Structure 1
């Protein structure tokens, strides 16, 4: 009887367990379905900030390389031959003035020649005085018949010959005095001594080089510009020249070479460096930023033009090309190939491939791919999150 009474109770318990299990399975099934639906929704790949291109006025510049050289280099040589050099008063790097004595030759033999020429002039003048007196007496007797016409002619000829000898003696004296003057080698202009070959005790010939001098201490930058770009440069164009030590000077184009090198297809552009720095004093300084013979780079300033710029972070370089990512209305980005140009601070010009109304990704652009879904936040809100990360 007991066993018969327990069977319905067991059946009730079992039924309850079955119902509970079914309910749990239904709830679990609904939960899994909801999670699957939640996982199926797309998630943003990255949080980014965006901006629109902004207009700017950028300078048009043309880069070039070249050498710094002397504006003109004067060669100072000997004008007296066979004389011994007794004194050299200047050295390389010295600043000299026009007419300053640079070297002195021995003047002993020249002084003797000058004295001899002066004595010859005195002798010629004395002989001329006698000839003039004889000719004057002959003229007074010309009408009296006391002297023949031939004698009178001889006296007149002697007078003219004596005067010619005076002129010859004076010329000889001037020549010797000029030789005496040449025993002192003087500077033909203001400038800086750039080379010295003069040695005390040497005997040099006429025309032997003794010194080289940078006239007026002026330096110039000889830039090499290709034939295609030469037409953009005019005399008077400003150029910023940068020396090897980082110093910069602003000069002006003085002239453009009339010929083009057939090998390199480039021409020389001569840029005068400012006198304030290229002066004689600065050129002799040991730490002068520019010296003749050094290499320098520079840029010619050709004016300004309007441009469209974006932050430098927005431009991504891949496989040698520049790209930006445009944010579309659906929250996804499109990779656009652009042509980058000039730079202005932390901004870069985009000359092709982008419109002015495009929304460009700035922060995080380097981690994106074409078609990625992103979340756009203001730049002020993204900064703390980036710092915390």
Structure 2
């Protein structure tokens, strides 16, 4: 039975092969199917190519936008900000007066003041031993009395002679001699008085006195010390207690400073700030470091110690500049910069020059116009060229 079935199949195949019309029809159907499949594939490829610029990119763009990182941007605009120059310098007395011996000197017997005390003009700071000068003064005072006695005697003799001249007992020549004797006695009185005044002035100069009212800064003398006019300063007094900061500025910054510019000074180690004004601008520049000095006048305060170090912020004027939060400004080896978002929503780096940080933010002196979309924060996680989804920050 199986044999007959196999034979029947072979005969069937043989009959199909031998049938030319059937074979031709079969080939035509196969060719039509192949051509249809090719046409369908080409049609699908063409459709994909045509619709790739329309509906599919829009969907892809929407999906891509959902996956882009979202960044908050701000448009800073322009604000009036103060142009501040920072500087450092040394605190000092505005008028530092060294006080020394004005007379012949001697051994110091007493010192009457200590550093930190206030003194008045002419107040005695130290006393120099004066026993020798005192004896000389007493001697001259006695000589004045002797000269006065001689002058009184000469005047009496002159008076008696003038009373007798009319009777002829005394000649006019005697009167002239007695008058000359009287005048000489009066002159000796004046000489003795002048000598006494001189010695008293010398005694007065032995006292070391303050030339003006102020604050005693330093004391360099002790009792028992022998001093003279060549001993140098024994005391240092700040006239009126006024202080100053000698701020060192570059040549460029010094050109922007003038007398009367306000400044705030902060001593090192202190959180307090002191207000002052520039009262003198150096007329010369140091040829070595190309710096000059602006002297800032300050009122007395115990925290302002001469010789200390302090920082100063000087207000050199006002400019229109964008104001950014500190989180928007970054820095690297090249300097300060911000990230802005361009019209294609891509990150672009902008190098900027910033001013003094204030409570309101950081002023951008150069590098921005104010109408850019600036990344408010998260700039450390971005790179130039990154595509992002910017979101405008809410107005405050």
Tell me whether 1:268 sits opposite 2:268 in the alignment: no
Q: Residue 244 of structure 2 corresponds to which residue in structure 1? A: 220
CA drift at 1:104: 2.7
CA RMSD of aligned residues (A): 3.7
- The one-character-per-residue Cα deviations of 1:34-67 (angstroms, maximum 9, x if unpaired) are 9x99999756442222221233221111222221
Equivalent runs, 1:173-192 vs 2, <5 Å? 173-192=196-215
Aligned partners of 1:319, 1:184: CA distance in 2, in Å? 63
Extract structure 1 runs of 4+ deviating beyond 6 A. Answer: 36-41
Which range is displaced more, 103-112 or 151-160? 103-112
Which of 147, 168, 184 is 2:191 aligned to? 168
Which of 36, 57, 61 is 2:84 aligned to? 61
Equivalent runs, 1:200-215 vs 2, <5 Å? 200-206=223-229, 208=231, 209-215=233-239
Q: Which runs of 5+ in 1 are unaligned?
A: 9-25, 27-32, 283-288, 381-389
Asked whether the equivalents of residues 47 and 364 of structure 1 are also in contact (C-alpha less than 8 Å), the reply is: no
Equivalent runs, 1:1-389 vs 2, <5 Å? 42=64, 44-81=67-104, 83-140=106-163, 146-206=169-229, 208=231, 209-246=233-270, 247-275=272-300, 277=301, 282=302, 289-330=303-344, 332-342=345-355, 343-345=357-359, 347-377=361-391
Asked whether the equivalents of residues 235 and 253 of structure 1 are also in contact (C-alpha less than 8 Å), the reply is: yes
Asked whether the equivalents of residues 97 and 191 of structure 1 are also in contact (C-alpha less than 8 Å), the reply is: yes
Report the structure number with the largest CA radius of gyration: 2
Asked whether the equivalents of residues 307 and 351 of structure 1 are also in contact (C-alpha less than 8 Å), the reply is: yes
SS in 2 for 1:229: helix
Residues 128, 206 of structure 1: alpha-carbon distance in 2 compared, 3 angstrom cutoff: farther
CA drift at 1:377: 4.2
Normalised by the length of structure 2, the TM-score is 0.73
Asked whether the equivalents of residues 46 and 364 of structure 1 are also in contact (C-alpha less than 8 Å), the reply is: no
Aligned partners of 2:184, 2:312: CA distance in 1, in Å? 70
Number of paired residues? 345
- The one-character-per-residue Cα deviations of 1:45-90 (angstroms, maximum 9, x if unpaired) are 4222222123322111122222111122223333454643222233
Residues 335, 318 of structure 1: alpha-carbon distance in 2 compared, 3 angstrom cutoff: farther
Residues 170, 307 of structure 1: alpha-carbon distance in 2 compared, 3 angstrom cutoff: same
